[in-house]
Structure 1
Amino acid sequence: MKVKTISISALFLCMSTTMLLAQNSTDTLKSEKKIEEVKIIGTSKKGGEANIITTQRKSLEVIERVGSVQLEKQGVGDVSVAVTKATGSQKQEGSGQIFIRGLGDRNNSTTINGLQVPSNDPMYKNIDLSIIKTDMIDFIGLEKVYNPRLWGDMSGANVDIVTKIYTGKPYFKVNLGSSVNFNAIRKNNYFLQDGPNFFGSTLLKKPSKNSIISNGYAFKTSWNDQSVNNPINSALSFDFGTNFKIGEQGKLSIFGYAGFDNSYEYFEGITGGAYDGQDNPLRLYNNAEEFKYSTNTTGLINVNYKINSNHNINVSSNYIHTTDQRLGNYSGYNRDYYDNDVNQERYVTQMRRATYRTNDLLVNQLRGEHKLSEPLKISWNLGYNRMDSRRPDRQQNVTVLDKQENYNFFASSNPGANNRYFDRLLENDFVADIHADYKLGEAKITLGYSGRYKDSDFKSTQYNFRILPAQGTYYVNPNNYDSFFNLANYQAGGFFEIVTFRGDIKYDPTMALAPQTFTSEVTNHAGYVNVDYKFNERLTVQAGVRYEKLMQDLAYNTSIQQGESEKDYNKILPAVNIKYSLNDQHNIRLAASKTYTNPLLLEIAPYQYEDVDETMAGNQSNYIADNYNVDLKWEWFPKKNELISVTAFAKMIDNPLAKITINSSANLTSVVNVGDTGRVVGLEAEVRKDIYDSGKTRFYTFLNGTYLNTKMDLDAEKVTRENFGPGESGYTTTFLRNSDKLQGASEFLANVNLGVEQKWGDKNTMDFVLSYSYISDNIYAIGFQSRGNMVDKAFSTFDATMKFKLGNGIGFSLTGRNLFNPTFTRIQDNTETGRELISKQYKRGAGIGASVSYEF
């Protein structure tokens, strides 16, 4: 609820009063009352386009928001896509992770209603934004410029997801939708692994120790793929809002959301390509396919109690359950399985890999605002988050096809080639923030404290199947692995044995079944002070500083190493924001700050995770990188819902972190502090403009573009020096050059949106929006020795959405996704030969969908 002073309304009322007084001067002079101010009390939609622009214009801090109204018009369903509509943002292909101003996951942070939330995947720092539905939010804020209210572990931006607090008339809305991905629907035989069900509610558990010790082979699910009929996406959700008056001034507002949706996808092409410096393949699956099925079940309840105009309390609880299945069949060459036939004239390596991942995230928040007196306001925010992330029953099989003899045999020289893998990450995350705002003349002083405690507990076990018969003495049916891996063959003793990284289950089950583990405790205490001072009507300055005491205790017992690590940092982070208003339509802003970048948990835990494309290992020798940031921005607000802005920015990074390939026979990738310095220099432009607006027809555009120039030092001697010694990782590398572009940074990003809004009759509207996004080349991983960088080539998407909303409460929409269906390509750029060698190449597939809703 917002209170607005409408000057034109006050003028109208005053004029009416004056006319009345002139006609009845004698009778009214005795009872005349002076009207000093007229207030119109009403509601303002936080996610509305005009409100988003107005808030940005008035804010002292540099903010950028994407509102729910804009997202609804574009048919954007999840937050990861929503963030890419903001200037300088890009979504990493194949994931929900976001790059902002060329800086990736470890450089950004994510908050919900201002409080940090944990990642749903140990591979990443930030939660996968694609699992958060836009129907639950008012807007998404991108805070690219630091201020001391934010946690200092950011150099790209903080993404703040603000959930809905309902303030309008009571309503209930039901949404039903369906869509298809043309790649998936055209596949004659669609397969997924055995075990998970349609709703993603099946909980697959690791076999108990007793069952493994007693039976050896105690797995309940099959190795064989399961056929799926009609891979058509579906979605069902409902949301509601209502209000209740409590006493004379109190008001209780409730917003609720619940929904389920699923998605089928299919890819085919090339993957896993890796080559030496002379262009000879080390691994290349040139005939690859992947089936993907994902589900999302979400529930949110948000209760807001406005006690009176001075006191407000809010409580919210959000539960998100997601699952992701990927079944891949990869055929080609892989030297790791003793395949010496590079040209695949006789032998072809065939890999099957089935991965099932489940995530359960619970976000609970309690917050309040209290105006204790005219100059003093207290705000507090408490949160408890719990994350349960699992990869239960990941399966892998590797066989070699002898085309001459027409039979398959296992790659028996490597027990890990055929395996079942189980892991689980449990995190409890306690966060808090309390601050006081005190107005003193033209100054506002903010004094606050932030605290966070997070404990992480990770366990994994991989059961490897050692093949006993000699190659050529048996036959394997790759469509029926259960005929070989079963209880009878295990008990017979001549087919396979089950081992782990710690030993053989038959001979030492206690040791063999001990999981790989790492645990982490992170404690962060921060105090901050901010002073906003208004020098005059045009110039306002905010200056502040934040102190953070960051402690992380890590204990690990993995196949790589066993030990403990303690890291203790003290960070003083100053920031200044200056706003100069040339007039009501033009602002100039200048900001400078210091922040830092902390390595991710899996980037410091010495644990090795193997995927189809790469094998990554953590590095306990990593440490914090410091960032120095400066921004200069010009904003022009021609109309209430229009904006034109240009921003120049620069970042200097001490000891930047980046993904590299380390010197090893296994071609491991890891993250290290690659050099002494790095830099990012960029230019952003944004336009939100009405092209034509007359009567009930509006033709508009919102577009943005970003140019980046990045560079970082590459110092192999520094890597060796800092990773050598007792308790260190011992990693080394050999860089191709002394410097390179920043890993993950695209040189150019652009979003172009064209929309038509048509109104007719009684509250009937139609919106038609075309959306185009472009991402230029960016480095996926830094090259080493004679091998070039892994580079993701330029990629673009084109979407179209048409939505109708009728006055009787019925709405329906038609959407087209990825309509151009471009080819995504990752290459290895070998500089010695000048060739770009394909590492990964596929098309996501175009899709169309329709939905219908009813609100009453």
Structure 2
Amino acid sequence: MKITKLSAGVMFLLGTAQALSGQQAPNDSLKKEKEIEGVVLRGSIKKGAESNLISLQRKSAEVIERVGAVQLEKQGVSDVSVAVTKATGAQKQEGSGQVFIRGLGDRSNSTTMNGLPIPSNDPAYKNIDLGIVKTDMIDFVGLEKVYNPRLWGDMAGANVDIVSKIYTGKPYFKVNIGSSVNFNAFSKPNFYLQNGPDYLGFKQINKPKNAKIAQFGYAFNTGWQNEETFTPINSSLGVDFGRSFTIGEEGKLSVFGFGNFDNDYNFTEGIVRSVDNSGAPLKDLLGQEFTYDTNTTGLLNLNYRINSNHTVKATTNYIHTTEQKLGFYEGYIRDTNEDRANETAHLRRAAYKTNDLWINQVAGEHRITEPLKLSWNVGYNRLDSRRPDRQQNISVQNRNTGLYHFIAGNAGANHRYFDRLLENDYVGNIHGDYQLNDMLKFTVGYRGRFKDSDFRATQYNFRVKLAPGNYYVTPEDYGAFFNYDNYQSGAFFDIRTFRGIVGADEMALVPQYYQSEVMNHGAFANAEFKAGEKLTAQLGVSYENLQQSILYNTSIQDGDVDKNYSKILPALNVKYSLNDLHNLRLSASKTYTTPLLLEVAPFEYEDIDELSFGNTDLNPADNYNLDIKWEWFPKRGELISATVFGKYITDPISRVTVNSSSNSVSFVNTGDSGMIFGVEAEFRKDLYTHGNSRLYTFMNATYLNTEQKLDAGKVDRENPNSRVAVSFISTKDKMQGASDFLANVNLGWEQKWNRNTMDVVLSLSHISDNIYALGYESKGNLVDKSVNLLDATVRFSLNNGLGISASAKNLLNTNFTRVQANGNGDVVVRDYKKGISAGIGISYQF
């Protein structure tokens, strides 16, 4: 960093990124810096550097916690879902990019980019899959676990704010290439995927036109055969660049661009099982799953500093992802091979999902007068999410003859499924800060959001007409049976939807659908009071109104839902600086939690081992939050802190196993109240320094004690329009998804010589047991067992612009296990290993 005309009297300004970069995170409230006449500062600072983020945390009136891009690069963390787990009290949900924070999952958290809400890329979730957001395009990720009125109040765990990178410093162009392997996938002699999707992930498989189906019946463009793919070696290619331009006497335009493609092959093998409430198996299978994912991301960030009083920023971010999974499962399925002694069920399931997410934002900050500052932010988000051509086949093998056949009349056993979710999301906020004097600042603002969602799904079921023994099939290609010629003959199979027989019933091709419109309005006011240099207090209130309408027609039922909620949400944040190194903080607030769209819409989604459906009678939960925190900043870049927090929740929402003979789950307000009590600790410290060598650690741990009341009578009374019925095992239990203990331990060694740097980082994470779904009667809770994850990264940054890295992930190759915790003993229902991954990367910066 180069600085000219620098005097010792202004060195303290270097700790404030706002002064040097022109960027301030949306919810910071830092001490007002004094202008010093005659001093000119020019330079750059890494806003994602740990020392800078800790400095901001020390000064902020609000509780903020951030994970910076610089440290993430050292750890070899490439996506935001893993980045968030490096923060205190956060855990990643296995099998997705969703995170739990302080024991609360997807519905209890929110996600923003640069302070504006962004949509989920998957109808099953409220928040975007953080695994698709690349860390190379961000400055830092902020976790706002304490509410303040500038945030939307629909959060109980935290708001995750992704702050996209703004270019500062010298012009540059950087190229990144990398390759890795997952040893589970690489060790397979053959790696299979379904027919249709391509390597880059841009080939779209469309649902057959209704007119074509009506005319030809069987009109599918892809086959049922398994296709062997290329050698399963992962690859990545990315570029990013930055440059600034002077405009006029005071203007400066900064441009940052990022583009990236990567793919990921994986293979898992293990148990897939489900049992009924008597413990008898519904499915008892050994499964193999081949997966292939792609991610193509582009981001352009323009920051135009008009002059010292006015700045405008524009961001556009396009993310295209695909997920393929081809699974083979064999064993016992109750409804298929009742002669378990002589028959084996074979289930093939091919799933393909594509997501196109386009995020657009324009924001501005304007110093109208010395005491008045105006900030605004508007955005438009577009989501196109599809599950095109999910395929399922179930056949039965006679072990005496070795021959395979289908089960006649079981239409849903063999099917093809297509769905599509389209969302348009308009968001915006504006607020003004008025600095009355050195002691008092007022903030008032408004925020709004309108989102329309259109979801449509069609499942084509193939009902076999022939009796077993009159034909045989080949599992390698079920298309030898399910094809155009056999359909036209009329003897082999017909095609049905839940509305009727294709070609016979007029309504057969009308898709299932739900359409939703959500309107949010919020107004807030906040007062910040400073009593000297030690005490800062914020007292604010927010009013929010949420209106949601859903029109639906599905295989479960048709109808509409209209919900209208108004919430008044007070918030108090107090910071007391014992001295320059120690802070005490107190925060109290009220927030709320609304159910997800798919938790309300009565749509049925069937996976291998469970079936889930929404509940139109779900109500929001209210959350009352209290935090007490102590912070110690021993020296620059170091932090030691401890937090005690509690949450009281009315009408808590949980995933539950419903009363049924199948393994079905839904969502209910389980009881009148729930509570969470927790303790968090964080430690970032240099352990040893000598010359250009540094041994350091950053670690955190969280203990959680949770409880919710369970009341089956309440569920019956409050769910008159749904088919949800429960019989809880007890009158209270832990909160769904909450682990009792979470910990992250990171040990790093930094060595510098001749402007070259080497970083070695070991990262260990522990997640204890947590409830996946509440059980009923003799059918116990579904529980995800504890896991330990160990990663290692070595990275060299050379003074000629070359960067070299090597990483190894999941070195312990931990078992991921889910059990049904029955009273007479746990039943393992999921068990597999993801395998160890290792890779290298090379970058060059021009």
TM-score bracket relative to the smaller structure:
over 0.9
Change (3 A) 1:775 1:765: same
Residue identity in the other structure for 2:455: F
1:226-245 equivalent positions in 2, closer than 5 A: 226-245=227-246
Change (3 A) 1:11 1:440: closer
Deviations 1:619-647 (A, max 9, x none): 00001000000000000000110000000
Which position in structure 2 is the counterpart of 1:265? 266
Matched, 1:434 2:430: yes
CA distance in 2, matches of 1:278, 1:616: 20
Change (3 A) 1:190 1:540: same
Deviations 1:112-162 (A, max 9, x none): 000000100000000000000000000000000000000010000000000
Which position in structure 2 is the counterpart of 1:410? 406
Once the two structures are TM-superposed, the CA of residue 345 in structure 1 deviates from its matched residue by 2.7
Deviations 1:61-116 (A, max 9, x none): 00000000000000100000000000000001111000000000000000000000
Once the two structures are TM-superposed, the CA of residue 716 in structure 1 deviates from its matched residue by 0.5
Matched, 1:684 2:700: no
SS of residue paired to 1:307: strand
Matched, 1:367 2:368: no
Residue identity in the other structure for 1:543: L
Matched, 1:800 2:792: yes
Which position in structure 1 is the counterpart of 2:664? 668
Question: Given the alignment, which residue of 337, 340, 344 partners 2:338?
Answer: 340
Which position in structure 1 is the counterpart of 2:690? 694
1:410-809 equivalent positions in 2, closer than 5 A: 410-441=406-437, 442-508=439-505, 510-724=506-720, 728-761=721-754, 763-809=755-801
Once the two structures are TM-superposed, the CA of residue 666 in structure 1 deviates from its matched residue by 3.2
Which position in structure 2 is the counterpart of 1:199? 200
Which position in structure 2 is the counterpart of 1:305? 304
The answer on whether the counterparts of 1:720 and 1:730 sit within 8 Å (CA) in structure 2 is no
The answer on whether the counterparts of 2:109 and 2:154 sit within 8 Å (CA) in structure 1 is yes
The answer on whether the counterparts of 1:277 and 1:830 sit within 8 Å (CA) in structure 2 is no
Once the two structures are TM-superposed, the CA of residue 9 in structure 1 deviates from its matched residue by 4.9
Deviations 1:236-265 (A, max 9, x none): 000000000111111000000001000000
CA distance in 1, matches of 2:316, 2:39: 38
CA distance in 2, matches of 1:830, 1:777: 15
Change (3 A) 1:356 1:4: farther
Deviations 1:18-65 (A, max 9, x none): xxxxxxxxxxxxxxxxx9664533222110111010000000000000
Change (3 A) 1:576 1:211: same
Change (3 A) 1:3 1:101: farther
CA distance in 2, matches of 1:700, 1:570: 48
The answer on whether the counterparts of 2:627 and 2:644 sit within 8 Å (CA) in structure 1 is yes
Once the two structures are TM-superposed, the CA of residue 480 in structure 1 deviates from its matched residue by 1.7
Matched, 1:376 2:367: no
Which position in structure 2 is the counterpart of 1:126? 127
The answer on whether the counterparts of 1:805 and 1:811 sit within 8 Å (CA) in structure 2 is yes
The answer on whether the counterparts of 2:218 and 2:483 sit within 8 Å (CA) in structure 1 is yes
Deviations 1:818-853 (A, max 9, x none): 01101111001001x1x1111000000001000111
Which position in structure 1 is the counterpart of 2:24? none
CA distance in 2, matches of 1:316, 1:409: 55
Question: Given the alignment, which residue of 380, 384, 388 partners 2:384?
Answer: 388
Stretch moving more, 663-672 or 573-582: 663-672
CA distance in 2, matches of 1:646, 1:456: 42
SS of residue paired to 2:335: helix
CA distance in 1, matches of 2:9, 2:550: 62
CA distance in 1, matches of 2:410, 2:147: 50
Once the two structures are TM-superposed, the CA of residue 340 in structure 1 deviates from its matched residue by 2.3
Once the two structures are TM-superposed, the CA of residue 681 in structure 1 deviates from its matched residue by 0.3
Which position in structure 2 is the counterpart of 1:853? 843
CA distance in 1, matches of 2:810, 2:693: 28
Which position in structure 1 is the counterpart of 2:23? none
The answer on whether the counterparts of 1:10 and 1:37 sit within 8 Å (CA) in structure 2 is no
Residue identity in the other structure for 1:752: V
1:130-279 equivalent positions in 2, closer than 5 A: 130-271=131-272, 273-279=273-279
Residue identity in the other structure for 2:292: Y
CA distance in 2, matches of 1:714, 1:426: 36
Which position in structure 2 is the counterpart of 1:25? none
CA distance in 1, matches of 2:319, 2:73: 21
Residue identity in the other structure for 2:275: Y
Residue identity in the other structure for 1:270: I
The answer on whether the counterparts of 1:251 and 1:306 sit within 8 Å (CA) in structure 2 is yes
Which position in structure 1 is the counterpart of 2:18? none
CA distance in 1, matches of 2:11, 2:548: 61
Deviations 1:430-464 (A, max 9, x none): 00000000001211100000000000000000000
Which position in structure 2 is the counterpart of 1:836? 826
The answer on whether the counterparts of 1:793 and 1:824 sit within 8 Å (CA) in structure 2 is yes
CA distance in 2, matches of 1:685, 1:7: 38
Percent identity of equivalent pairs: 60
Change (3 A) 1:826 1:61: same
CA distance in 1, matches of 2:604, 2:37: 70
SS of residue paired to 1:72: helix
Structure 1 unpaired stretches of 5+: 13-34
Once the two structures are TM-superposed, the CA of residue 279 in structure 1 deviates from its matched residue by 3.1
Change (3 A) 1:10 1:580: closer
Once the two structures are TM-superposed, the CA of residue 349 in structure 1 deviates from its matched residue by 1.4
CA distance in 2, matches of 1:36, 1:159: 39
Which position in structure 1 is the counterpart of 2:69? 68
Once the two structures are TM-superposed, the CA of residue 663 in structure 1 deviates from its matched residue by 1.6
CA distance in 2, matches of 1:476, 1:76: 46
CA distance in 1, matches of 2:760, 2:827: 41
The answer on whether the counterparts of 1:699 and 1:755 sit within 8 Å (CA) in structure 2 is yes
Residue identity in the other structure for 1:849: G
* Aligned length in residues: 822
SS of residue paired to 1:719: helix
Which position in structure 2 is the counterpart of 1:21? none
Residue identity in the other structure for 2:750: E
Deviations 1:788-838 (A, max 9, x none): 00000001110000000100001110000101101111001001x1x1111
Residue identity in the other structure for 1:336: D
Residue identity in the other structure for 2:150: R
SS of residue paired to 2:42: strand
CA distance in 1, matches of 2:542, 2:343: 61
The answer on whether the counterparts of 1:682 and 1:709 sit within 8 Å (CA) in structure 2 is yes
Tell me the TM-score normalised to structure 2 length: 0.96
Once the two structures are TM-superposed, the CA of residue 694 in structure 1 deviates from its matched residue by 2.3
Matched, 1:821 2:813: yes
Which position in structure 1 is the counterpart of 2:280? 280
Deviations 1:556-600 (A, max 9, x none): 011111101100001000000000000000000000000000000
SS of residue paired to 1:42: coil
The answer on whether the counterparts of 2:277 and 2:661 sit within 8 Å (CA) in structure 1 is no
1:29-40 equivalent positions in 2, closer than 5 A: 38-40=39-41
CA distance in 2, matches of 1:371, 1:692: 45
Residue identity in the other structure for 1:737: S
SS of residue paired to 1:40: coil
CA distance in 1, matches of 2:96, 2:737: 14
Stretch moving more, 810-819 or 396-405: 396-405
Change (3 A) 1:216 1:535: same
Once the two structures are TM-superposed, the CA of residue 665 in structure 1 deviates from its matched residue by 3.2
CA distance in 1, matches of 2:449, 2:134: 26
SS of residue paired to 1:336: coil
CA distance in 2, matches of 1:468, 1:420: 18
Q: Which has the larger radius of gyration?
A: 1
